[in-house]
């Protein structure tokens, strides 16, 4: 729930999750692991035994959660709460987002702390842009590419960079697809939208990825695993992300830009306009026409399944009917793991940023129930 609460705000709010010591925090492992794998900044506050009573085999949350948080520690004095919270929120609001855990021993919970001494000012998000030299090289490559394609990841949602993404795509007429966790970062009813992909994906993504000579990944870790769209071998890749650990991870990267997606996209737009001058990279609407044709052909092939009256009803019909019946501007949708994810992602057209909660890195069955509740 805390994860979804954070995601639907595009990380402008941080979900906080309070759980009991022992079984509470032991059971929370899967949810926090999920948030960590999808880089969602939530604050986990478990209780803990009194410090005097703590001894093995008591469960140590900081030790056990170390690998799935940006920081896991114990609040060891009540008067350290403001300082430790400041640090926790700074970590959640900068760099690659992720969960922070601070356990609160029972004796600390009961400790007196003078209200007058409680000084806390909420911390701001800290962002940084790309190296101008990298921006220049990337801009030149994007202008020169014959068939570039944009892979848009969750970083675009985290950074609130959808307007800039549309602007860049339109400026150079580049087709855009989104990743599973990045779905809804680009309006899928836009003429340059290819849709979103995981281990199933619309044909338009496959078609344009195959013919691409340059892949520009923005706000994407470019992770190669079962629930991601693979980048075919031999493609030139420009990758922009906030985390250097994602660069040259699963794919060799020709040019990297480390920075916040919104700032980097704005830098690229300005630099590309500067480099292009009065020239226009592509005057015609050939890319949009080709996208339309591929999409239409694909949809025609799937329509019998999507509108089938077979009994029992098939899952594609459910997705299709929901698409027609719901107001997608007012709907936030998620899937669960297993087939529902594979069936939903290609056919559900997201048109509003943050309206799709896609997940598939840690992928615990049942997470969708909490996500649905946390969206409120």
Ligand X SMILES: Cc1ncc(C[n+]2csc(CCOP(=O)(O)OP(=O)(O)O)c2C)c(N)n1
Give least dist CB 342 to ligand X, A: 8
CB 265 within 8 A of CB 220: no
Give least dist CB 347 to ligand X, A: 15
The count of chain residues that interact with ligand X, using the rule CB under 6 A, is 6
Of 86, 111, 337, 372, which lies in the binding site for ligand X, with binding defined by CB under 6 A? 337
In angstroms, the CA 136 to CA 314 distance is: 50
* Residue from 220, 231, 105 nearest 161 by CA: 220
From 112-120, 221-229, 250-258, 332-340, span contacting ligand X (CB under 6 A): 332-340
Give least dist CB 336 to ligand X, A: 6
Give least dist CB 281 to ligand X, A: 43
Shorter beta-carbon distance to ligand X: residue 154 or 368: 368
Give least dist CB 338 to ligand X, A: 3
Note whether 369 binds ligand X by CB under 6 A.
Answer: no
**Which residue, judged by CB position, is nearest to ligand X in the bound state?**
338
Give least dist CB 363 to ligand X, A: 5
CA distances in angstroms from 170 to 150, 173, 287, listed in the order given: 12, 5, 11
Shorter beta-carbon distance to ligand X: residue 271 or 336: 336
Note whether 364 binds ligand X by CB under 6 A.
Answer: yes
Give least dist CB 367 to ligand X, A: 8
Note whether 317 binds ligand X by CB under 6 A.
Answer: no
CA gyration radius, the chain: 23
Shorter beta-carbon distance to ligand X: residue 64 or 200: 200
Note whether 365 binds ligand X by CB under 6 A.
Answer: yes
Note whether 338 binds ligand X by CB under 6 A.
Answer: yes
In angstroms, the CA 53 to CA 366 distance is: 35
Shorter beta-carbon distance to ligand X: residue 22 or 340: 340
Shorter beta-carbon distance to ligand X: residue 160 or 315: 315
Note whether 199 binds ligand X by CB under 6 A.
Answer: no
Note whether 363 binds ligand X by CB under 6 A.
Answer: yes
From 43-51, 198-206, 345-353, 359-367, span contacting ligand X (CB under 6 A): 359-367
* Residue from 156, 130, 149, 174 nearest 236 by CA: 149
Give least dist CB 343 to ligand X, A: 8
Note whether 147 binds ligand X by CB under 6 A.
Answer: no
Shorter beta-carbon distance to ligand X: residue 353 or 374: 374
In angstroms, the CA 93 to CA 355 distance is: 21
Binding site for ligand X (CB under 6 A): 337-339, 363-365
């Amino acid at each position: 729930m805390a994860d979804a609460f954070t995601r639907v705000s595009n990380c402008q709010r941080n979900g906080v999750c309070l759980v009991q010591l022992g079984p509470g925090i032991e059971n929370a492992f899967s949810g926090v692991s999920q948030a960590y794998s999808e880089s969602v900044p939530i604050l986990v506050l478990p209780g803990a035994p009194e410090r005097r009573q703590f001894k093995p085999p008591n469960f140590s949350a900081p030790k056990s959660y170390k690998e799935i948080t940006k920081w896991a520690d114990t609040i060891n004095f009540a008067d350290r709460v403001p300082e430790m919270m400041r640090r926790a929120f700074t970590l959640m609001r900068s760099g690659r987002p992720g969960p922070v855990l601070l356990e609160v021993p029972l004796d600390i919970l009961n400790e007196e702390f003078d209200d007058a001494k409680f000084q806390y000012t909420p911390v701001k998000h800290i962002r940084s842009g790309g190296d101008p030299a990298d921006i220049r090289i990337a801009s030149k490559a994007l202008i020169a590419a014959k068939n570039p394609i944009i892979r848009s990841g969750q970083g675009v949602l985290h950074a609130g960079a959808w307007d800039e993404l549309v602007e860049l795509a339109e400026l150079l007429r580049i087709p855009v697809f989104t990743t599973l966790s990045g779905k809804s970062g680009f309006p899928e009813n836009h003429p340059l939208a290819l849709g979103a992909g995981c281990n199933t994906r619309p044909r338009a993504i496959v078609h344009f990825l195959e013919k691409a000579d340059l892949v520009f990944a923005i706000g994407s870790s470019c992770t190669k695993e079962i629930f991601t769209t693979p980048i075919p071998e031999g493609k030139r890749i420009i990758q922009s992300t906030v985390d250097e650990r994602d660069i040259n991870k699963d794919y060799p990267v020709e040019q990297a830009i480390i920075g916040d997606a919104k700032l980097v996209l704005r830098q690229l737009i300005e630099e590309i306009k500067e480099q292009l001058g009065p020239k226009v990279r592509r005057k015609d609407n050939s890319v949009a026409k080709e996208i339309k044709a591929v999409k239409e052909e694909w949809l025609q092939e799937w329509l019998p399944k999507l509108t089938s009256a077979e009994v029992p009803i098939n899952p594609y019909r459910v997705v299709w009917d929901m698409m027609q019946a719901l107001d997608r501007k007012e709907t936030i949708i998620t899937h669960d793991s297993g087939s529902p994810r594979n069936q939903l992602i290609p056919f559900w057209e997201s048109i509003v940023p943050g309206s799709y909660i896609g997940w598939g890195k840690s992928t615990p069955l049942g997470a969708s129930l909490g996500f649905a509740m946390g969206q409120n």
